[in-house]
Every structure is written in C-alpha cells, then in structure tokens.
C-alpha cells in the first residue's frame, strides 16, 4: 500500500466497482439494497431486483436492468427504513451496499437498520471507510475531491462491539470496501451503544485516533483475489 501521509495507507487494489460487481456475481442476491446511489454507477451493477435510496438522485445510468422489480426511494435512508416498505414486501435483501451520508452516526444507523432486515447469509458492504489523508476524513466536506467523512469509525466500532461479525476490509480503490458477513438481525448491541458512541466519538479525528493505529487494526483483504475467484460475467 502506498503511504500518503504519516501512518495513512491507500487502498490500491482494483476499483470498488469491480469488487462490487464480483460480489453481485458471487452472491446473486434475491434482492439488493443500496443506500446512496447518486448517478446510478454502483446501482447499475445490480443483476436482479433492487431497492435504491437517495434523497437526491441524479441518474445517468440504469437505462436497463435485468431484474423484475427496481424501486427508487428519493428520501433519506432514515425515512426509507421508517416507511416500513421493506417489511411490507415480505422480502429480505441478500446484499446491501451502504454509501449514503458519510458521517459515522448516519452509517451506524444505516448498518443497524440494514442488518435488522437482511436475509439469511446476507452480506453488507460499507464504502469509504479507509481515508488516505486527514482532509478527506473531516466531518465537514472541504475542497478535497474525494470525501470519506468519518465513516472510518465504523471499523473500530464493529471490531470492538461486534466480534460475532466477520469483517473484511478490502483494498478496493480508492478508499476501501468493508464486507461484513455473519450478520445477526436480532442483535441489539449497537442500538444500545449508539447514543454513547455518538457522543464520545463525534469529535474524534483520524489524526487524534492515529492513522497508524487504524491501519494496524486489520489486514487488507485482496480485492484482486476475490474478483479472480468470483463467477465470470
Ligand atoms: C458517494 S454518493 C453515492 C455514490 C454511488 N453509490 C456510487 O458508487 O456510484 C453518496 C450519496 O448519498 C446520498 N445521501 C446523502 N445523505 C443521505 C441520506 N441521509 N440517506 C441516503 N442517501 C444519502 C447523496 O445524495 C449521494 O448521492
């Protein structure tokens, strides 16, 4: 991994789009849930039915899709989960990609809400949890081209509070993809801890936490190896 600033590492494997595509091929979910779609670039990788949520879609892709049902919800993820739509369908996603608001308390809520609704063997992927410099990890979006915000905090939160999860941090460029398996829709551990986590972690910066400490907390999983082992197109 290339070092950008002291202690930082940079996910330098294949693009996260290539890894997402391989995950779609390998998981073949009955239903795909995407939080944060914007242009549709990641949504266009879905190979079947999907639900996509974004308060401001700006779709440039998705002229066709192979599934029978595609649902767009132009609202925040909190509003979507509160709507009860998923429950009303009686269906449970097999794969979810969480790429909405890049503040850790939002991603924590998205993870809790998604996990509670996933089907057996479900997989959740989190985007942008591996910043390669301090500016891109600020809570306020600055002039950086890429903004990860402080969703990197999900990695230590899940490592500490949810040892029951399988957490792989893939070196998918540019800012990593965290792939989480062994989900437990019944778990209420995060919900119980969330108020305290939000208060105690809000003002923690990546510089204060220590980029070296963050990157020492996991071994990169290889996106190239996963892609090579996934079913072909
Ligand atoms: C980084 S973009 C998504 C990019 C897309 N997943 C891709 O890879 O092509 C983040 C999106 O999250 C959306 N967003 C912001 N706040 C949100 C919220 N509270 N709930 C859901 N989506 C949100 C934004 O409108 C934006 O389109």
With left for phi above 0 and alpha for psi between -120 and 50, is residue 142 left, alpha or beta?
beta
Average pLDDT over residues 131-142: 93
CA nearest ligand 1 atom 15, residue: 101
- Mutating to test ligand 1, I would choose from 45, 100, 108, 111 the residue with most ligand atoms within 8 A of its C-beta, which is 100
Q: What share of the chain in percent tops pLDDT 90?
A: 91
Flag whether pLDDT at 185 surpasses 60: yes
Instruction: Tell me how many degrees the CA angle 149-150-153 measures, rounded to the nearest 5.
Output: 155
Domain 16-229 CATH superfamily: Vaccinia Virus protein VP39 (3.40.50.150)
Relative to beta strand 123-127, strand 177-181 is antiparallel
Instruction: Check pLDDT > 50 for residue 15.
Output: yes
Q: Is the CB of 35 under 6 A from ligand 1?
A: yes
Q: Is the CB of 174 under 6 A from ligand 1?
A: no
For the Cβ of 100 lying below 6 angstroms from any atom of ligand 1, the answer is yes
Q: What integer pLDDT is reported at residue 144 of this predicted model? A: 65
User: Is any ligand 1 atom within 6 A of the Cβ of residue 159?
Assistant: no
| Contacts with 114 (C-beta within 8 Å, 6 or more apart), sequence order | 33, 35, 93, 96, 98, 124
pTM of the model as a whole: 0.97
Ligand 1, closest atom to CA 56?
A: 25
CA of 178 to the centre of ligand 1 (A): 17
Residue 18 beta carbon below 6 angstroms from any ligand 1 atom? no
Angstrom distance (rounded) from CA 176 to CA 126: 9
**5, pLDDT greater than 60:** no
Omega before 174 within 30 of 0, i.e. cis: yes
Give residue 54 CA to ligand 1 midpoint distance, Å.
Answer: 6
Q: Where are the domains of the chain?
A: 16-229
Query: Would you place residue 2 in the very low, low, confident or very high pLDDT band (cuts 50, 70, 90)?
Result: very low
Average pLDDT value for residue range 221-232 = 96
Closest ligand 1 atom, residue 57 Cα: 27
Q: Looking at ligand 1, which atom is closest to the CA of residue 97?
A: 6
Q: Parallel, antiparallel, or unpaired for β 177-181 and 166-170?
A: antiparallel
State the distance from the centre of ligand 1 to the C-alpha of 90, rounded, in angstroms. 25
Tens of pLDDT, residues 24-73: 999 999 999 999 999 999 999 999 999 999 999 999 976 778 899 999 99
């Amino acid at each position: 991994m290339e070092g950008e600033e002291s202690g930082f590492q940079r996910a330098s494997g294949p693009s996260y789009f290539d890894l997402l595509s391989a995950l779609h091929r390998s998981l073949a979910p009955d239903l795909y849930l995407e939080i944060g779609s914007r242009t549709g670039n990641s949504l266009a990788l879905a190979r079947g039915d999907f639900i996509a949520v974004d308060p401001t879609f700006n779709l440039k892709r998705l002229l066709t899709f192979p599934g029978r049902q595609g649902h767009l919800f132009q609202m925040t993820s909190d509003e979507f989960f509160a709507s009860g739509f998923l429950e009303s369908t009686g269906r449970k996603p097999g794969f979810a990609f969480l790429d909405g608001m890049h503040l850790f308390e939002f991603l924590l809520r998205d993870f809790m809400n998604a996990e509670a609704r996933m089907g057996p063997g479900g997989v959740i992927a989190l985007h942008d949890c591996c910043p390669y410099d301090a500016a891109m990890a600020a809570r306020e979006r600055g002039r950086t081209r890429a903004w990860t915000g402080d969703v990197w905090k999900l990695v230590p939160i899940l490592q500490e509070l949810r040892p029951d999860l399988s957490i792989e941090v893939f070196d998918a460029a540019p800012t990593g993809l965290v792939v989480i398996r062994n989900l437990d829709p019944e778990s209420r551990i995060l919900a119980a801890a969330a108020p305290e986590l939000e208060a105690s972690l809000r003002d923690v910066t990546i510089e204060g936490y220590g980029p070296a400490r963050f990157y020492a907390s996991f071994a990169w999983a290889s996106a190239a190896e996963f892609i090579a082992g996934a079913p072909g197109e």
